[in-house]
Structure 1
Amino acid sequence: MRFGPGVGPAVLGVDAAELRDARVPLDRIRPEAHVRRLVSAAESDPLGALLHETRRRLDGVDRSVETGIASQLGAGASVAEVVTSMGWSARRLHRHALRVYGYGPKTLARVLRFRRAVGLARAGRSFSDVAAECGFSDQAHLAREVRALSGVTLGALVR
């Protein structure tokens, strides 16, 4: 299951840093009775049960802080600019990002830029246009960053 940036911890009730780079069965994260019911319900209607529980957990949760951070960084704002706009210290932003996203704000910015670049490339944009639009210094910089974050070339991701 994949969530948008900052959504998983609200649904799962756990700090994102605890789950970074791991695949953990749901019942090991939240062993409470409602998770056991979710797993039981999932046997007959897995998608419906999962969607119901996800909606229930997100109802009434104010995601504006996470959305604001992710949208600013995704649009190319620097960490310093985000700190200023939030009225937070750099340390507070870093701690918050670890808890909500699983890694610091600079890494989040790299991941969001990577996701945007892949999306544009999949939409048919040339790799040089993607590099320019996403703020890479050149196409080679884009290629290095894609390989560093995904382990494969942008061409392989597009296919």
Structure 2
Amino acid sequence: MTVAVEPYRERPARIAGADLWTRTAEGGEYRILPDGCMDLLLMDDDLIVAGPDSRAWTGSAPRGTRYAGIRFAPGAAPAFIGVPARELLNERVRLADLWSPNRSRRLLDRIRAAPDRATALDLEVAKLVEEPADRLTAHVLRSVRSGLLRGTAGVSRLAGTIGLSERQLHRRCLDAFGYGPKMLDRVLWMNVALDHARTGLPLADVAMITGYADQAHFTRDVKALTGLPPKILLG
């Protein structure tokens, strides 16, 4: 039997800042890059929580394995999952191991009974998200994206703007994102840089416009976080 392999697709989810995505595995090994996010995955017939990654996640799946997922905005998933992000760093865990068996089974049964499981996942998760966005999390993300953390004094500047010590800020970031503010900055800016590189922009120019010291610095950071230098990673 020939298994039709669907390409990766994504669209905005019903939760603010989240994406709903689907794909069917081509078979063999795959690599997922760190992006500061956590996902709730429907993988065949089970719900899996993908924690934040500090390095590339490599795995394999038989051809035809179907996935649907909600990719939460950075820092948003712990309130829904009920577990600090630091406890799920670089982990893939069944939702049933984090929630009560009855609660996770009821959610899974509603999704599996739907004709379109990806849409059902989106709807059911949106119904369960009640807590408003954490102000500290939002402030940290704005600061990272504005470039405030670039440079050696970035973390102390950020801590000063919100009235926390650097240690307190680090602890709060571990709970929200799975890693501290400096690591969050590295991960998010690496993804910005890689998006620029995918357009065909020379790597030296990418490094310059995204705040790396030079192309060599960019290359080292990408290799440290993904296991591959950008030229090989982007193929």
Please indicate, yes or no, whether the TM-score normalized by the shorter chain is above 0.5: yes
Given candidates 114, 118, 135, the residue that maps to 1:47 is: 118
**Cα distance between partner residues in 1 of 2:180 and 2:187:** 11
Q: 3-state DSSP class of the match of 1:97? A: helix
Amino acid paired to 1:158: L
Is structure 2 residue 225 aligned with structure 1 residue 149? yes
1:36 to 82, 105, 108: 105
SS across alignment from 1:131: helix
**Superposition deviation, residue 68 in structure 1:** 1.6
SS at match of 1:125: coil
The corresponding residue for 1:158 is 234
Per-residue CA shift, 1:91-143, capped at 9, x if unaligned?
Answer: 21111001111111111111111111112112332211110111111001100
Alpha-carbon shift at residue 79 of structure 1 (Å): 1.0
Which residue of 99, 111, 129 maps to 2:205? 129
**Aligned pair 1:73/2:149, yes or no?**
no
2 CA distance for matches of 1:53 and 1:16? Answer: 22
How many aligned residue pairs are there?
Answer: 159
- For residues 7 and 155 of structure 1, the distance between their equivalents in structure 2, rounded to whole angstroms, comes to 32
Asked if structure 2 preserves the Cα contact closer than 8 Å seen for 1:10 and 1:57, the reply is no
Please tell me whether residue 106 in structure 1 is matched to residue 178 in structure 2.
no
More strand by share: 2
> Which residue identity is paired with 2:159?
V
Does the 8 Å contact 1:73/1:79 carry over to 2?
Answer: no
Distance in 2 (alpha carbons) for counterparts of 1:32 and 1:85? 42
Aligned pair in 2 of structure 1 residues 58, 120: CA closer, same or farther (>3 Å)?
farther
| Per-residue Cα deviation, 1:26-48 (whole angstroms, up to 9, x for no partner) | 11121253321111122234323
CA distance in 1, matches of 2:128, 2:198: 32
Between the aligned partners of 1:125 and 1:71, the Cα distance in structure 2 is 25
DSSP-derived class of the 2:89 partner? coil
Separation in 2, partners of 1:80, 1:56? 38
CA distance in 2, matches of 1:27, 1:49: 18
Distance 1:126 1:114 in 2: 15
Runs of 5+ unmatched residues, structure 2: 1-38, 40-70, 149-153
TM-score by length of 2: 0.62
Distance verdict in 2 for CA 1:10–1:60, change over 3 Å = closer
Match of 1:9 in 2: 78
| 2-structure distance, mates of 1:53, 1:88 | 36
Gaps of 5+ in 1: none
* Percentage identity across paired residues of the two chains: 35
- Report if the CA contact (8 A) 2:76-2:133 is conserved: no
Where relative contact order (Cα < 8 A, 6+ residues apart) is larger, the structure is: 1
> What is residue 172 of structure 2 aligned with on the other side?
96
Q: Which moved more, 1:99-108 or 1:57-66?
A: 57-66
Bigger helix share: 1
